[in-house]
């Protein structure tokens, strides 16, 4: 009989999810310091001004390598935790 052996190490990744007003699904951005980027995007959303939009640029480490979007187009931000075996 085969017995299940759980993986010895689990890898946890925390991408930042960026929700845009004009795009349905969120953009998934893998970064080094997800908490800092999350807080930064929250501040950008709070300070966004429709009369004076600013370009926000972020560099990712996953499939999404670069992101450039106007601050007025960001609808929300979230952190997600993904667990997988190494």
pLDDT at 66: 96
Which pLDDT does position 11 carry in this prediction? Answer: 84
What number of residues does the chain have?
86
Q: Which residue has the tokens 């429709």?
A: 50
Asked if 58 and 69 touch (Cβ cutoff 8 Å), the reply is no
Tell which wins on pLDDT, 1 or 24: 24
* pTM metric for this prediction: 0.82
- The predicted pLDDT at position 23 comes to 87
What's the pLDDT at 84?
81
The 10s digit of each residue's pLDDT in 7-53 is 667 788 899 999 999 988 999 999 999 999 999 999 999 999 999 99
3-state secondary structure (DSSP) of residue 58: strand
Task: For residue 43, give both structure tokens.
Answer: 């501040």
């Amino acid at each position: 009989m085969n017995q299940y052996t759980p993986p010895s190490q689990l890898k946890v990744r925390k991408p930042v999810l960026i929700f845009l007003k004009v795009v349905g699904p969120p953009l998934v951005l893998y970064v080094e310091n997800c908490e800092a980027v999350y807080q930064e995007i929250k501040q950008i959303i709070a300070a966004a001004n429709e009369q004076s939009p600013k370009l926000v640029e972020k560099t990712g480490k996953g499939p999404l390598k670069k992101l450039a979007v106007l601050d007025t187009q960001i609808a929300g931000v979230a952190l997600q935790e993904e667990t997988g075996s190494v």
